[in-house]
């Protein structure tokens, strides 16, 4: 890792009594018992935007990461988001897979949530089509399957060596 520092400053002005004002006041004044404002911001940014940042750098030729490495970054971000969901459900006594009170399906959700719902629906349709296609194809013999499986396993080991999620999400800030 480089010892060169990256300086990033942002100034945001919102109404103090708005939802964003309440959020930013909590972060700025470190009202959380366990985390500093810097930790809260970077943790959330990493979980939400890290895979996109790496993907953009890769597309611009600034990083040479394999598909497996990119997938690992995305999986780690998804894991962090799921942990936050579980924390919120536990803290506020919310059961899993419940629709927010007063909402009418996906249309009441935030636009990003609507997009995720649409993508999830598309993913289900793709999966159904894939399952149908797979059932129509003659099965591959067992030795070919074992060869593919051992190649996948060695690829997973390689990706674990280059990247440790704790470096991203639990780093000293």
What's the pLDDT at 33? 78
The domain ranges of the chain are 8-93, 111-168
The mean predicted confidence, pLDDT, of the chain is: 74
Contacts of 105 (CB under 8 A, 6+ apart): 99
Q: Are 44 and 134 in contact (CB under 8 A)?
A: no
Q: What is residue 95's DSSP assignment?
A: P
**At 143, is the pLDDT very low, low, confident or very high (cuts 50, 70, 90)?**
very low
The whole-model pTM stands at 0.56
Q: Name the phi and psi angles at 135, rounded to 5.
A: -65, -25
Q: Are 161 and 155 in contact (CB under 8 A)?
A: no
């Amino acid at each position: 890792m480089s010892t060169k520092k990256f300086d990033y400053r942002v100034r945001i002005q919102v109404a103090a009594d708005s939802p964003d004002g309440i959020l930013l006041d909590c972060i700025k004044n470190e009202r959380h018992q366990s985390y500093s404002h810097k930790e809260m911001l970077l943790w959330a940014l990493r979980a939400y935007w890290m895979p996109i940042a790496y993907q953009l750098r890769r597309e611009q030729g600034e990083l040479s990461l394999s598909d497996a490495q990119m997938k690992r970054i995305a999986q780690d971000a998804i894991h962090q988001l799921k942990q936050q969901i579980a924390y919120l459900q536990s803290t506020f006594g919310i059961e899993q897979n419940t629709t927010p009170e007063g909402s009418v399906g996906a249309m009441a959700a935030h636009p990003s949530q609507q997009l995720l719902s649409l993508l999830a629906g598309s993913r289900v349709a793709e999966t159904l089509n894939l399952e149908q296609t797979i059932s129509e194809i003659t099965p591959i013999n067992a030795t070919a399957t074992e060869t593919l499986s051992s190649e996948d396993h060695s690829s997973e080991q390689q990706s674990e060596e280059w990247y440790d999620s704790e470096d991203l999400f639990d780093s000293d800030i």
